[in-house]
Amino acid sequence: MTKNNLSPSWKKLLKAQLTANIKEQGPSAAYLSLSTVRPDNNPANRVVVFRGFAGESYKEETGWESDLLTITCDKRSPKVQEIAANPNVEICWFMGSTKEQFRIRGRMHAFGDGLNPSESLNSHIGRKHHGMPSLDEEKEEDHETDFSDRLSQASKSFLKRIRSLKHHIKPNAPFDWQAERLRQWYGLTDQLRATFTWPAPGTPKEPVEEEEATFRIETLTIEESDDNGWFSHQDADKRALLERGYENFVVLFLEVTEVDHSYLETSVRTIYRKEDDTWNAVEVNP
């Protein structure tokens, strides 16, 4: 039983087992299956990529923690409309190296242009009581020196924007969801980022003459960021593409209500349920 909403026992287990599987099989261990409900009430299922917990990084210290699983997608994809109509979803995540399964249920929240996360999500994310880098202005310069060489562009953008908003230094200030969306945008590969400028997913692919094929760019790089952590580009055309792609870029946050975890080889199965702000773990028959 745990009352720590930001780091419940199932989260610690999931992170540890994911790390072990990534070590054995590489980034593909972060692939999972997400189920939603179509408008005709039939199920829809697809493979997506786990992008970490909101505000957190796999490898770097951002100073934030949460229990919100994060996925990214195109605003024009059917799952965004399906989630808007029915936010109840389930994830099935098989980790092959350790031979275990996580089935995770909850309510999905979408954030992007014209899509705002529920205020209830603010209770699922907060500042750590320890860790670096600090948001203390007096110590900021020293921490920049210590950490800037080791931070990715995604984390640098995230911290710049957080620091640019002075009220976020207060311990109880709301989290800046736009900063998290930007962090996820920076964290994409240049190849994946380019796909957000392509025609809408699932639409018929029209034949394109060779000289007209330039609209479908293969890579989209972010060259630099300004003081507020926004992306920019020296090439005006690439800047326009970045803005177009970002308009189509959505971050999904899963507010977890139940985790069903099974070790397939040992037949040990545990269900974690949240009741009255407390997580309870019960071992059940497989």
Q: Which domain holds residue 98?
A: 9-199+215-284
Tell the residue number behind the tokens 């699932």, with chain if given: 202
CA distance 268 to 286: 6
49 residue type, one letter:
V
Q: Tens of pLDDT along 268-281? A: 999 999 988 899 99
Residue 37 maps to a domain:
yes
User: What secondary structure letter does DSSP report for 286?
Assistant: -
Q: Tens of pLDDT along 91-129? A: 999 999 999 999 999 999 999 999 998 889 999 999 886
User: Cβ-count burial of 245 within 10 angstroms (0-12 exposed, 13-18 middle, 19+ buried)?
Assistant: buried
CA distance 37 to 278: 28
Residue 249 maps to a domain:
yes
Q: Predicted confidence band at 161 (pLDDT cuts at 50, 70, 90)?
A: confident
Give the residue-averaged pLDDT of 36-59.
95
CA distance 3 to 22: 29
Q: Is 156 helix (H, G, I), strand (E, B) or coil?
A: helix
Residue 4 maps to a domain:
no
User: What secondary structure letter does DSSP report for 208?
Assistant: -
Residue 39 maps to a domain:
yes
Q: Predicted confidence band at 209 (pLDDT cuts at 50, 70, 90)?
A: low
Q: Is 37 helix (H, G, I), strand (E, B) or coil?
A: strand
Q: Would you state the pLDDT for residue 140?
A: 46
Q: What is the CATH number of the domain that holds 93?
A: 2.30.110.10
The H-assigned helical ranges of the chain are: 9-25, 78-85, 137-147, 153-164, 177-187, 190-195, 236-247
Instruction: Give the total number of structural domains in the chain.
Output: 1
Residue 2 maps to a domain:
no
Residue 106 maps to a domain:
yes
113 half-sphere exposure, CB direction, 13 A CA radius: 10
Q: Tens of pLDDT along 173-190? A: 678 999 999 999 999 999
Residue 256 maps to a domain:
yes
What are the E-state strand segments in 86-143? 88-95, 100-111, 125-127
Give bridge partners of residue 72 from the DSSP assignment: 251
For the cut 50, the answer to whether the pLDDT of residue 63 exceeds it is: yes
